[in-house]
Amino acid sequence: MDLFAQLLVNGLGNGSRYALLGLGFGLIFGTTRIVHFAYGPIYAVAAYAAWLAASAAGLPLAISAAIGVAGAALAGAAVYGLAYRPFEARGMSSHSVLILSLALSIVLDSLLTLAFTPSVQTIPEFTAPIFILGPVYVTALQLGQIAAVVAVAAILTLFLRRTRYGQAILALGDNRDMARIVGIDTDRISLVVFAIGSAVSAIAAVFTLLNEGATPTMGFNPVFIAFVVAVVGGLGSIPGAIAGGYLVGLVESLGLWKIPTEWQNSIAFVLLFLVMLVRPQGLFSGLKR
């Protein structure tokens, strides 16, 4: 039972990170319909930017984290503005844009490896406080992740519902052509969406940096997790992404109760596969965003 409780807590912690990944990815895909594989390397860019700020420049943790988030937002906007948008403007098929995003993610991965070597980079002086609640250990990072999900979800919801930009983003996600007809600058809105989506994923990246450190390929699994979460939750729904994130986190963590650790990776993918076969529109697609 103690093990179960501990796995539950771990699942909630990881699930929070997954929810953030799904929120960012779902926002980008739901609005622009671009399958953004380069989401992975940009996630890694965020971690490295924060790591450089903290260890090389010696900045405080909060500022380093902010630099990581800003770096990812810039990188995400750059990928859209310099790669995807010109492609779409030339009338290339969505398959070509998809292959481009794959190619970009390979190139960025390789460049990160060449720049930072494949070894793990950590912030040595950082250790997260640990709280002991009866039989269960809870780290400050896990609590921070949960708080981050709450904050991001609240801000995103307010932003989408209450601001002109948010309304434009929702309109674009609903119907791109119609949005253009009513005078929405779809290119600029897409750029903003790429920046916001990348920034949301960067929060998860900073937590990963603090938890495990940064590696050049650290974004490989998160792209899939993000996709699994967004699809499981129903693309483009904030409550869906959060529910999907915690579902994947909990299933993956509680699965360890019965399944050996080395199979943990596969659990999320098996879940995705089953959802695709049974309910391709997502488990929570009824929820409004």
Residue nearer to other proteins on the CB measure, 3 or 270: 270
Q: Which residue from 57, 63, 82, 99 is in contact with other proteins, where contact means CB under 8 A? A: 99
Q: Which of 159, 218, 201 is nearest to 72 (CA)?
A: 201
CB-based contact 206:46 (threshold 8 Å): yes
Asked if residue 113 binds other proteins (CB under 8 A), the reply is yes
Alpha-carbon Rg of the chain, whole angstroms?
19
Q: CB neighbours (10 Å) of residue 27?
A: 27
Asked if residue 277 binds other proteins (CB under 8 A), the reply is yes
Give residues 133-192 in contact with other proteins (rule: CB under 8 A): none
Asked if residue 270 binds other proteins (CB under 8 A), the reply is yes
**Helix (H/G/I), strand (E/B), else coil: 217:** coil
Q: Which residue from 21, 100, 141, 146 is in contact with other proteins, where contact means CB under 8 A? A: 100
Residue nearer to other proteins on the CB measure, 163 or 265: 265
What one-letter code names the amino acid at 215? T
Asked if residue 251 binds other proteins (CB under 8 A), the reply is no
Structure tokens at 170: 């929702």
Residue 80: CB minimum distance to other proteins, A = 15
Asked if residue 104 binds other proteins (CB under 8 A), the reply is yes
Residues, the chain: 289
**CA 175/CA 191 separation, integer angstroms:** 17
CB-based contact 9:142 (threshold 8 Å): yes
Residue nearer to other proteins on the CB measure, 154 or 270: 270
**CA 92/CA 152 separation, integer angstroms:** 34
Residue 218: CB minimum distance to other proteins, A = 15
Q: Which residue from 5, 57, 63, 114 is in contact with other proteins, where contact means CB under 8 A? A: 114
Q: Which of 168, 233, 156 is nearest to 196 (CA)?
A: 156
Q: Which residues are at the interface with other proteins (CB under 8 A)?
A: 29, 35, 87, 92, 94-96, 98-100, 102-104, 106-107, 109-111, 113-114, 118, 224, 227-228, 231, 260, 262-263, 265-266, 269-270, 272-273, 276-277, 280
